């Protein structure tokens, strides 16, 4: 029987979050810290890492930070090694970091930018999962959560390369769920449009009209996604793997 007082707790776990200093990644890191986890954060900017570390320590979490890009092949191994060395484990990997330097039709996109998107958004998560598997999870088990997007489930204008990368990440989630079972659960969470700085160009010009397209009458905020992420990482989802949790405020209702 699930005890609601402990089912969503992560006490004794160490959680690695990529892109964990802003937006959805930051909200997930804070949710996991509030649930009792130690946190490792990977991001590119030292000043943002320092501010995030201070905030997570104020919650009461043990924290390590790793400066680097998910596009750098060495960062994943270094991050997991640091987690194990300083926090004692790497139990949960949350692949949140993503880039989108190409905006517009794929027929006009710079192919170098497209290649960067695919490397950071697909190969990057695979690097982190491989590092965690080889250094910790193959022996101790664990959880992987990939932050994808509803854009990976249907075609849309302007961010085609990003959407293709998220579609591939959805399939990677299912592939890894099969390959790493039963020791490691692998799931994904798919937000609709969330009010983050990265997505500002999409929601800020016409927020009210866009909110009306959601059954719940508003756009998402990072904490909406963090709540779902905590569920998928916790023992409350112990019999769930290879799935994609859509968190879209009911935007998909009007499409069915």
List 128, 133, 136, 162, catalytic entry: 162
Would you call 162 a catalytic residue per the annotation?
yes
Nearest residue to 164 (alpha-carbon basis) of 128, 124, 130, 115: 115
CB atoms within 10 A of CB 140: 13
Question: Two tokens at 63?
Answer: 């924290």
Between the alpha carbon of residue 66 and those of residues 51, 77, 83, 193, the distances in Å are 13, 11, 9, 28
The catalytic site residues sit at: 162
């Amino acid at each position: 029987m699930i005890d609601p007082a402990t089912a969503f707790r992560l006490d004794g776990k160490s959680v690695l979050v990529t892109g964990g200093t802003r937006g959805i990644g930051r909200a997930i890191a804070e949710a996991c810290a509030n649930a009792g986890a130690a946190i490792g954060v990977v991001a590119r900017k030292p000043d943002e890492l320092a501010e995030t570390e201070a905030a997570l320590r104020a919650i009461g979490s043990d924290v390590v930070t790793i400066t680097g890009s998910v596009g750098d092949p060495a960062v994943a191994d270094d991050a997991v090694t640091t987690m194990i060395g300083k926090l004692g484990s790497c139990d949960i990997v949350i692949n949140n970091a993503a880039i989108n330097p190409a905006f517009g039709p794929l027929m006009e996109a710079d192919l170098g930018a497209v290649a960067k998107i695919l490397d950071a958004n697909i190969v990057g998560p695979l690097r982190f999962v491989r590092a965690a598997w080889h250094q910790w999870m193959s022996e101790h088990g664990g959880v992987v959560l990939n932050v994808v997007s509803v854009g990976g489930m249907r075609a849309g204008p302007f961010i085609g390369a990003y959407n293709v990368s998220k579609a591939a990440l959805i399939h990677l989630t299912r592939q890894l769920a099969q390959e790493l079972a039963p020791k490691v659960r692998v799931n994904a969470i798919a937000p609709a449009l969330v009010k983050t700085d990265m997505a500002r160009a999409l929601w800020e010009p016409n927020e009210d009209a866009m909110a009306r397209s959601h059954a719940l009458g508003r756009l998402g905020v990072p904490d909406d996604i963090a709540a779902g992420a905590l569920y998928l990482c916790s023992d409350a989802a112990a019999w769930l793997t290879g799935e994609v949790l859509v968190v879209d405020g009911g935007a998909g209702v009007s499409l069915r």
